[in-house]
Amino acid sequence: MPRNLQTELKRSKPFSSLEQEAMLSLARTAARLDHDMLDVLKPYRLTPTQYNALRILRGAGPDGLCRNEVRDRLVARVPDATRLLDRLEETGLVVRGREGGDRRFVRARITRKGLDLLARLDQVVIDLHQQQLGHLGSAKLRALIDLLADARDRE
């Protein structure tokens, strides 16, 4: 049986609202899942944000993307997408180049080394997600996905 968040956090007082309890539960769950991802990526010397950027660039194909397009597609916002791409370029996972008439326009592309790294990580990450959430089953996962989408779409 799942533990009660109040007990898990060793709170003596009840939460002030269901919304507060839901937010804390989301944050606690995200932190635990993120920690697992950090552990999986650590041997590959990648952060979850770097991994996300590489997956975005792999999905973009040979045309690559400009910095802002990568930034806008990241799961978690970053303050400086340029530095994120700098670090990936320094490790040889990404290349960037200026194109067209506007020399300010720089495209980032994933390298063969980056593609090979993602290929090694694909099953590792699938296995991690299965370990983390597979016990919920399809119906609960679909409900969770829908509830989270509803929470993001509050307008």
pLDDT digits (tens, 9 = 90+) for 12-54: 888 899 999 899 999 999 999 999 999 999 999 999 999 999 9
Average pLDDT, the chain: 92
Among 45-49, 83-87, 101-105, name the one with the lowest average pLDDT: 101-105
Long-range pairs of 93-96 with CB within 8 A, sequence gap ≥ 24: 93/50, 93/54, 93/117, 94/53, 94/54, 94/57
- Which residue in 57, 91, 59, 90 sits closest to 71, CA to CA? 57
Fold of domain 18-130: Arc Repressor Mutant, subunit A (1.10.10)
How far is residue 114's CA from residue 91's CA, in Å, rounded to a whole number? 9
Longest CA span, the chain: 64
Q: Which two tokens stand for residue 26?
A: 């989301």
Residue spans of the domains in the chain: they are 18-130
DSSP lists the bridge partners of residue 109 as 95
State residue 19 phi and psi, 5-degree precision.
-60, -40
Confidence (pLDDT) at 1:
47
Look at the pTM and tell me if it is higher than 0.85.
yes
